Structures are given as C-alpha cells and as structure tokens.
Chains A and B, each alone.
Chain A
Amino acid sequence: MLQVENLNKSFGNKQVLFDINFNADNGKILGLIGKNGSGKTTLFHSILKFVKYQGTITIDGHSFSSNDYDSVGYLPEERSLMPKLTVLEQVSFLASLKGMKKDDVKRDLQDWMKKLEVKGELTDKIKSLSKGNQQKIQLIATLIHHPNLIILDEPFSGLDPVNVEIIKNVILQEKHRGATILFSDHAMSNVEELCDDVVMINNGHIVLNGNVNDVRNNFGLTRLFIRTDLNLDDVKKLPGVENAILQNNGIYKLWLSQASYGEEIFNTLSNGEYLRTFDQEPPTLDEIFKMKAGEINE
C-alpha cells in the first residue's frame, strides 16, 4: 500500500503541492486527475524520490528506499525510447535495471508483445516501429518485471480506441495480480471505468479524494436522462430542472437542483404510461471535476 501524508513541494519560492494526503491500496487502481500543471507529475516524481519534498511517503509501511526500485514500474508522461536499440535490447536494458535476467526478459517479452498486439519483432529497431507500438513497448518495459507499485502517467495519450482497450485490459490484469496502480489521465471516462479510487488535484490542492462511486453518489442523482415528445423549452420548465439539452441520440439530459425532483418528473411524464427512457444518475467525474475546478478558481 502507498501512503502519502502531508506532502508539500516547492520549487524555489513557488509551492506546487499543498498538504497532499491519500492512500492507494494493493489490488486497486487510483486515478489521479487534474488540469495540466496541477501538480500530478510532480506528485509522481515525489513518490519516486526524483525530487525532495516535505512530508511522508511510505510503501507498505516504509519510506521509499533503494530496495524498492525493483518493485516499482513507472511510465512517464511523454513517450521515448532509445531509437537505435532493438526492441529486445531496449526492454532488456530497462528490465535488467529492475533485476531481471536477460533470458527471462526474452521469454516474457514475446508473451507481452502478443498480449499487447505489438506489430514488430524482437530484433526490430525501436525507430522502425509506429508510435503506438513504441508506446506499447514502453508499457511492457514498465510492467515486465511484475512491479507491486505501478505508476502510469497518462498511459492512453496518443493511442487509438482499439489500443486504449488493449491497454485497459492489461491494467486490469495487473490490478487482479494485486498491484497497486496509480494513473493519471485527462479522459475522465477512463478513470471512471478503470479506477476504484480517485484523487482530484487542482493547483496543487486535493479537491476530491475517495472511492469513485462514493464521490459521484455524494453529488446525488442530479442527472436525468429522458426520452419524451415534449420540446426542449417544455422540458426546461419541468420541476427542479436547472438546465437541459437534447443529445444527438434523441435523449434529453437534465440537470436537477435536487435528486428528489426525479420522482416528480417521472410521475408528470409517465402519467401511469410506459416511458421508453428514464435514467437518473449522479454527475460524471468530468462534470464533478469541472465543478470543483470552477469552485477553486472562483
């Protein structure tokens, strides 16, 4: 388990992280979300001891030490490998720094390449691979030594939807293996789909922290999705509706001031009749993030 307590970090006179506290449990995925420059990467760098900081960061109860290097897998935000090396040379070098033997790397690397559907051979030069495949090789180099703590800084950036799905499956497999996984992403849908817990950072402050479903539910079932013959103006006049839009799929999305208005609207619209679509949900992480970021900015 990773524990971060009272973490503060400054560069010169500029403080970039303020009293950060959170836990990341074994076998769970923690999503770190925040705008660009909010301090996510600095937080990762602090955990990995790339930079000095004030506060306490412990892994399984002890401070990060040289013994922990081999049990950490880190995928940095930007992708880059050594272009002149072959796939085997590149992964072997990085994996050997994690304590793996070359024969084991060669054996496992082929399995990983199949699993991630990498189009290329072990002997191919990195520069001859497509960007997406290079990204997959870098992810393999991050995971091949079966780390207990996995830190992925925007692992899906630049990937097409098919490859995003492949990598999501790999991340879930690592979770089921029991690894503690931290990852950051701008696409909240990915965080909602994959993460058990979420930490939302804005300007170096944690603005939300907790289980993803709990966080969403705490905001109440204030999003309502309905299909009706009413026009948009009439929908907006329904009780408790703060705003409404007609989505491309013909379903109205309504923002309610309180969740309890849902029942009243249901009764009004159905009038004892069948309703094809009536779905009341909490706000998405994206909406929560925008609200929270807005609050802080205000």
Chain B
Amino acid sequence: MNKTWLVAKETYRREVKNWSFLLMIFMPFIVLLVSFFFGMSSSSAFDNNTKIGIVSKNEGIAQSLKKTEDFDIFKTKAKAVKANQDGDIDGYVVVENTNAQLSATYYGTDKMDNDIKTELIRVLNTHQQALNLRNAKLSQQQLHSLSQKIKFTEKTNTKKLAASDEKGLKTATFWIMIFVLYFLVQTYSTIMAQDIASEKGTKIMEMIFSSMPGGNYFDGKVLGIFLEIITQLLIYAVMFSGFYYLAPHIDGVKDAFAQIKPAIDQVLGQIISWGLVFVVLGLILYIVYAAVCGAIVTKAEDANKAVQPLVYLTLLGFFSSLSLSNNPDSLFAMIMSYVPFLSSFLMPLRLIKGNATNLEASISMVILLAFLVGSIWWIRKIYPSLILQTDDNGIWKNMKRALQGIKE
C-alpha cells in the first residue's frame, strides 16, 4: 500500500477514534437537544401533570373528552371534588345542559391551561352545534346547505426567481460557505498543528523518516486531516438529508419545514459556485500552513500559540467580508481579493455583489492555486528539517535552521 496513504489512514484513524472528535461532531446537536428539552420541560411542566375533571351526564361529551389524556370523567361533582382534594386532578369542570344550552363552569385553584381550555371549548361547541341543529328541526336540504364547506385549492407560483431574490439566495449561500470555512479553519488548524507538534516531540519521527521521504509523510498528514474534515461534513450531510426527508412527515415540524424548504432547495442549488472553489482552496491552504505551525514548535502545548497567526488571518478574512459586504468596491477589498488567505473570503463577496467579473475571479483563483502549489512544494522540502529539530531555539531560529537545512 502506498506509504502516504498509510500515514493518512493512521492519522485519520487516530483522530476519528478520539472521543474529542465525536464530541466535536455531536456537541452542537447535544447543546440544541438539551436546550430544546429544557424549553419543552419548562413550558410543558404543567401540561404533563395537568388533568382536569369533567362532570357531565352527557355521554357524548364524556366520550369525546375521554379521548385526550387531559381530562378525567366523573359521574358526580362530589367525586370530582374529592379527586381534586386528593391532588389527582388540578381542577374540574361541571358541564350542564339547560334547555339545549350547554354551560361549563371551571373550579380550581389555578387558571385553566389555555390549550386544555381551547380543546374543551372546541368539543363543547361541536356538541352545542349538534343540539342547535336538532332544535332547529331542519329539512335534509337545509341541513345539506348548512353543511357546505369551502373549497380550498393551493396553487403555487413556479415563476422564475426575481433578480433580487436570487441575489439574496446567493448572498445567503456565500455566508453559509464563509461561516463553514471560518469554522473549519478555526477547528482543524489547531487539530493539525497539535497533531504534528505532539509527534515532533517524539523520536519516532526519525524511525518514520527512515521509512519514507518526509515530504510524503507531510502529504499523508494533511490528507488524513482532510479525511477527518470530509467525515465531519459527511456526517452533517447525512444528518441533514435525514432531516430533509423526514421533516415533511413529522407533526409539528412539517409546517415550518414546508415554509423554508424552497429556500433550502435554492441555497443547495447555489453551492456549486466560484465561492466553493475559493473556500476549498482556502481551506487546503490554511491546513497546510497549520501543519508548518505545528512543525515549528518543540512542545505540543505551544501548538495553539504557533497557529495564532492563521487564526488572526481567518478572523481578518471573516470580519473583512462582514464589514465590506456593503462596500465591496473599496480598494482594500479589491486588493485583498487577490491575496491568498484573504481572497477566499473577499473574492466570492465581490462576485456576489457584482463587483468582480469571472475573469477577475479566474485570475484570483490562479494566484491562489499557484501560491498553494508553491507553498506545498516548499513545505514538503523544509518539513523533515523542521520536524527533526527538537532544540528549543524559538520559532524564528527553528525556521531559519530549517531553511539552512534545504540549502546545504
């Protein structure tokens, strides 16, 4: 098996088998679920326990209300009062029929829950309606006329999106991609740097470099981390697909989902774009340089410090695109949209705002690609020298020695 692939596999296996990876993947969902259940439990704390007694001689009403868990049926008021005193129910409603007029009186210490009250009134209204119809003594035809229901037909407008809507969707897609780039760089640049720094402290690297060229080992490390990133994105994609296909069948979610589905479909349709090219190339560039940051330090605990310049660059890119979103034709945005590291944030912004042509995007991409290829070529050369230096000379001296290592 190819040695670079073996290193990638080992790096990937070690990272993914780690608990912190699973935690990183599922933590956002755990937080969401926990907050959801907290919200649910606090809002429905009374719902779950609230039970209202119904005292009614009307079997129809009793049967209708019995179907829900919110009501207990009592034949006499005395039994309801006792149940209320024993704490089995939170209150009770006495339903009476006086001359075809239903009346309901609630007895309790707290106000009746609104949902329960709505349900009770709905059921009582249905029965009152039936009583009214019976008392009116209508003919079949009159009954038929009164039972007419409205005809409701839903016709959706499939016309092409307006230019402003399309621009809005492109902007939304851009922000999603930029946020994903920002999130992935922030997360994985540290992981990459720490992984390499922790290995650097061990002499096992000499054994590894006696088995394969250091440059190939570097390729394997970067590839392994990219497999980890792809795994994370795939897990999210699978979860999103599951939600996408199940949501229309889940009560309580389907209505809300139906409203946002067209927007989701259109955002997904916009993913394949210039922005994606810049984001992917930018991510590779950041991860490759994170590997250098990890290789420069001599102690694993210094990896976070070493990777700070990259973190600041991402912050600069992210906040520049935020602050320049209304001013993409500024000189700063124009120049920086050609500068690797920042072009991944600013060129897609300029494209969306109609401030850059495809030709300009192509030029920026070629610059980014050339810089990336050049960087990888250079880093592959200095990587073994950086890794084999275990003297704590400081970052710049280490870098200088690594550069000397290439020349000699």
For this complex, 26 residue pairs linking A to B, each with C-beta atoms less than 8 Å apart, are: A11-B408, A12-B404, A45-B206, A48-B210, A50-B206, A50-B384, A51-B385, A51-B388, A51-B405, A52-B405, A52-B406, A52-B407, A52-B408, A66-B212, A69-B211, A74-B207, A76-B203, A80-B201, A80-B202, A81-B204, A82-B202, A82-B204, A84-B14, A94-B208, A97-B3, A141-B207
Question: Could you tell me the distance between the alpha carbons of A48 and B384 in the complex, rounded to whole angstroms?
Answer: 12
Question: Could you tell me the distance between the alpha carbons of A11 and B385 in the complex, rounded to whole angstroms?
Answer: 12
Expressed in whole angstroms, the minimum distance between the Cβ of B69 and any Cβ of chain A is: 52
Residues of chain B within 8 A (CB-CB) of A45 are 206, 388
Q: Which residue of A lies closest to B387 (CB)?
A: A50
A142 at the interface (CB under 8 A from B): yes
B209 at the interface (CB under 8 A from A): yes
Question: Could you tell me the distance between the alpha carbons of A9 and B203 in the complex, rounded to whole angstroms?
Answer: 22
User: Could you mark each residue 371-408 of chain B with 1 if its beta carbon is under 8 Å from any beta carbon of chain A, else 0?
Assistant: 00000000000001100100000000000010011111
Q: Which residues of B contact A (CB under 8 A)?
A: 1, 3, 6-7, 10, 14, 199, 201-204, 206-214, 384-385, 388, 401, 404-408
- Does the CB pair B388–A80 fall under 8 Å? no
Residue count of chain A within 8 Å CB distance of chain B? 34
- Does the CB pair B212–A11 fall under 8 Å? no
Question: Could you tell me the distance between the alpha carbons of A177 and B121 in the complex, rounded to whole angstroms?
Answer: 95
Q: Which residue of B lies closest to A53 (CB)?
A: B408
Chain A stretch 53-83: residues in CB contact (< 8 A) with chain B: 53, 66, 69-70, 72-82
Q: Which residue of B lies closest to A47 (CB)?
A: B210
Expressed in whole angstroms, the minimum distance between the Cβ of A153 and any Cβ of chain B is: 9
- Does the CB pair B404–A96 fall under 8 Å? no
Question: Could you tell me the distance between the alpha carbons of A78 and B388 in the complex, rounded to whole angstroms?
Answer: 13
Known contacts A48-B209, A97-B6: does B401 contact A81 (CB below 8 Å)? no
Q: Which residue of A lies closest to B17 (CB)?
A: A84
Q: Which residues of A contact B (CB under 8 A)?
A: 9-12, 45, 48, 50-53, 66, 69-70, 72-82, 84, 93-94, 96-98, 138, 141-142, 151
8 Å CB contact of A51 from B7, B201, B408: B408
Query: B interface, by DSSP: helix, strand, loop or mixed?
Result: helix
- Does the CB pair A81–B408 fall under 8 Å? no
Question: Could you tell me the distance between the alpha carbons of A96 and B207 in the complex, rounded to whole angstroms?
Answer: 12
Known contacts A76-B203, A79-B203: does B408 contact A10 (CB below 8 Å)? yes
Residues of chain B within 8 A (CB-CB) of A81 are 202, 204
Residues of chain A within 8 A (CB-CB) of B209 are 48, 50
Question: Could you tell me the distance between the alpha carbons of A138 and B203 in the complex, rounded to whole angstroms?
Answer: 11
- Does the CB pair A69–B210 fall under 8 Å? yes
Expressed in whole angstroms, the minimum distance between the Cβ of B403 and any Cβ of chain A is: 10
Residues of chain A within 8 A (CB-CB) of B406 are 52
- Does the CB pair B204–A96 fall under 8 Å? no
- Does the CB pair B3–A50 fall under 8 Å? no
Q: Which residue of A lies closest to B18 (CB)?
A: A84
Known contacts A11-B401, A50-B384: does B210 contact A74 (CB below 8 Å)? yes
- Does the CB pair B408–A94 fall under 8 Å? no
- Does the CB pair B3–A80 fall under 8 Å? no
- Does the CB pair B1–A96 fall under 8 Å? yes
Expressed in whole angstroms, the minimum distance between the Cβ of A20 and any Cβ of chain B is: 16
- Does the CB pair A94–B202 fall under 8 Å? no
Residues of chain A within 8 A (CB-CB) of B214 are 50
Question: Could you tell me the distance between the alpha carbons of A12 and B397 in the complex, rounded to whole angstroms?
Answer: 12
Residues of chain A within 8 A (CB-CB) of B210 are 48, 50, 69, 72-74, 151
Question: Could you tell me the distance between the alpha carbons of A166 and B10 in the complex, rounded to whole angstroms?
Answer: 32
- Does the CB pair B404–A11 fall under 8 Å? yes
Residues of chain B within 8 A (CB-CB) of A53 are 408
Q: Besides the contacts A93-B10, A94-B207, what 15 more A-B pairs have beta carbons closer than 8 Å?
A: A11-B404, A11-B408, A51-B388, A52-B405, A52-B407, A52-B408, A66-B212, A69-B212, A74-B207, A94-B204, A94-B208, A94-B211, A96-B6, A97-B208, A142-B207
- Does the CB pair B211–A97 fall under 8 Å? yes
Residues of chain B within 8 A (CB-CB) of A10 are 408
- Does the CB pair A77–B384 fall under 8 Å? no
With a 10 A CB-CB cut-off, give which of A45, A50, A51 has the most chain B CB atoms: A50
- Does the CB pair B6–A74 fall under 8 Å? no
Residues of chain B within 8 A (CB-CB) of A141 are 207
Expressed in whole angstroms, the minimum distance between the Cβ of A194 and any Cβ of chain B is: 21
Residues of chain A within 8 A (CB-CB) of B206 are 45, 48, 50, 74, 76
